[in-house]
Amino acid sequence: MSQIEGGSVSRFLQLIRFSHTIFALPFALGALVVAANGWPSWRILFLVIVCMVFARTAAMLFNRLVDWSLDQRNPRTASRHLLLSKSAAQVLLVMSSAGFVVAAAAINRLTFILAPIALALIFFYSVTKRFTSATHFFLGLALAIAPVGAWIAQTGQIDLAPVVLGAGVICWVAGFDLIYATQDYDFDRREGIRSLVVKLGIAGSLRLAQLLHLLTFVALVGFGLAAKLGALYYWSMPLIVAALFYEHKTEKLDLGGINRAFFQSNAFVSAVFLVAICLDRLT
């Protein structure tokens, strides 16, 4: 019952896993710093962060609403519906979606035009498990929107560098989501939920996750080349590889160990990326 303790704000933050914002936000901020070739304006920085928070909040609320009854049947997520009423989640979904569009409109014309498309893509992930086993890649696509959007916020256009970085984020997220999804293997098979873990089995999924994280490394190097980053950026790559390697040892841990390793290693990857970008562009 510890999952439902705390005030209404605390329960809401638990529902949307607010702490996991740290995964995508550093990639958006890193892309923003590179696009600005230094510090962006405080206005753009503020609006990008606001967009990130609103978009992720809306995406998580939509996911919780779509999976409301499904989560109640899954032992791992059975208490989620106790954190917030369904009607409150619906109201907050509308408010966060509107907040995202308003913030995007305040940046530039292209971000405003693309805002509804971005929302549609991040919402679409939540329904993909009903018809495709590639749901992990759609989750990656949802997070990959962040660095591309941040780049557009600064430059008003799309370039090669953020697309390469976005591809890396897709591989990174799909890889760690495959590892995380092994926890639900039995439940997903029983419920008929489509997942590559169900399709490939746990061993096959973990091998695919390793390949995806290798491609993540390649994409991060490619981003450095496309963005003309210096040696300080590339010196961070061994740290990122070490964190990804650590994550792939989680298959031998219990559920609590998987969750800790999942959060720690992925938070470390995104944090190292952002620090390396800042050292390269701001020093």
CB contact set of 81 (below 8 Å; sequence gap of 6+): 68, 71, 72
Quote the pLDDT of residue 78.
57
Q: What angle do CA 173, 260, 257 make, to 5 degrees?
A: 110
Rg (CA), the chain: 19
**Residue 170 maps to a domain:** yes
Tens of pLDDT, residue by residue over 164-215, are 999 999 999 999 888 888 887 887 787 777 789 889 988 898 899 999 999 9
Structural domain boundaries enclosing 164? 9-282
Q: Which of 13-17, 165-169, 185-189, 261-265 has the lowest mean pLDDT?
A: 13-17
Q: Is the pLDDT of residue 158 over 70?
A: yes
Q: Is 38 left (phi over 0), alpha (psi -120 to 50) or beta?
A: left
Q: Taking 50 as the threshold, does the pLDDT of residue 13 lie above it? A: yes
Domain annotation covers residue 213? yes
Q: What is the mean pLDDT of residues 49-64?
A: 91
Give domain status of residue 274, yes or no: yes
Answer whether residue 106 shows pLDDT above 70. Answer: yes
pLDDT at 17: 62
Give the pLDDT score at 70: 67
In total, how many domains does the chain have? Answer: 1
Query: Could you tell me the CATH number of the domain that includes residue 187?
Result: 1.10.357.140
Residue 21 within any structural domain of the chain: yes
Residue 2 is assigned to a structural domain of this protein: no
Contact 148, 163 (CB under 8 A): yes
Residue 202 located in a structural domain: yes
pLDDT value of residue 259: 66
Residue scoring higher pLDDT (125 or 189): 125
pTM of the model as a whole:
0.87
Helix axis angle, 255-282 relative to 21-36, nearest 10°?
Answer: 10
Average pLDDT over residues 41-58: 94
Percent of the chain topping pLDDT 70:
82
Instruction: Spell out the residues 6+ positions from residue 157 whose beta carbon is closer than 8 angstroms to its own.
Output: 110
Query: Is residue 4 a part of any domain in this protein?
Result: no
Residue 197 counted as domain residue? yes
Report DSSP letters for 95-159, one per residue.
HHHHHHHHHHHTT-HHHHHHHHHHHHHHHHHHHHTTT-TTHHHHHHHHHHHHHHHHHHHHHSS--
